[in-house]
Amino acid sequence: MKIASIGSGHMGAALGKRWAALGHDVMFGSRDPHSERIKLLLEETGSNAQAGTISEAASFGEVILLAVLPDAVEQVLAEAGDLDGKILINCTNRYDGRSADEEVRRLAQNARVVRAFHTLPWEVLANPQYEQGTATAFLSGDDPAAAAVVARLITEIGLDPVDVGGPDRMAKVETAIGTLWGVLAPRFGREYSLSVLRRQEPEADAIR
């Protein structure tokens, strides 16, 4: 699958490397695709990766990961332009009381937005293995087919996707995870994870 990452920092690099290693074609979209930093990232990522401008990455990807700092979201989505039904994974977080989910769904032009990977630190995405079980990656979005594609990309990197349904439910999950982070990260560090153990999967129409 052709996957673009707009943003080549901690999140974009961690996920881009994993997907490239699995055989996906990855393009990092950067403000400066010829920089020394990007050259090094391409060397580390291997032959399935290339770099381009933000608009080149937006047209390359069937799936596009949005992995920039919140203050850059508006500008890069304007530069990305019409996303024409492509799947846009929003892993951005805001810490100013505004909703990063609402913002991206409002600004992304014609994208099928799926919220995912935002509940996990980049260190876990780079190395999701735990002896005790499989870490959960929560996702949400209005488009079930797009969510299913992202769930597959989550599974491929060794995480357990739990689709919570629409944005309202994800907002509750984010609040809960933020509260737990405040209690657990000081004890266990950034790389602890949560796992939703379950005896049954919800019916598809019970999610949304």
Ligand X SMILES: NC(=O)c1ccc[n+]([C@@H]2O[C@H](COP(=O)([O-])OP(=O)(O)OC[C@H]3O[C@@H](n4cnc5c(N)ncnc54)[C@H](OP(=O)(O)O)[C@@H]3O)[C@@H](O)[C@H]2O)c1
* CA 159/CA 71 separation, integer angstroms: 28
Handedness of CA 168, 204, 197, 194 (dihedral sign): negative
| Residue 167 interacts with ligand X (CB under 6 A): yes or no | no
- CB count in 10 Å sphere of residue 54: 22
Supply the minimum distance, in Å, between the C-beta of residue 108 and ligand X: 14
Q: For residues 30 and 50, which CB has a smaller minimum distance to ligand X in the complex?
A: 30
* Residue 91 binds to ligand X (criterion: CB under 6 A): yes
CA–CA gap between residue 136 and residue 146 (Å, rounded): 19
Query: Which three-class secondary structure state does DSSP give residue 47?
Result: coil
Residues 116-145 as x/- pattern, contact with ligand X by CB under 6 A: --x--xx-----------------------
Q: How far is the CB of 206 from ligand X (least distance, A)?
A: 28
Chain positions 186 to 205 lying near ligand X, rule: CB under 6 A, are none
DSSP-derived pairing of the beta strands 136-140 and 2-6: unpaired
Return residues touching ligand X (CB under 6 A): 7-12, 30-31, 67-70, 72, 75-76, 91-93, 118, 121-122
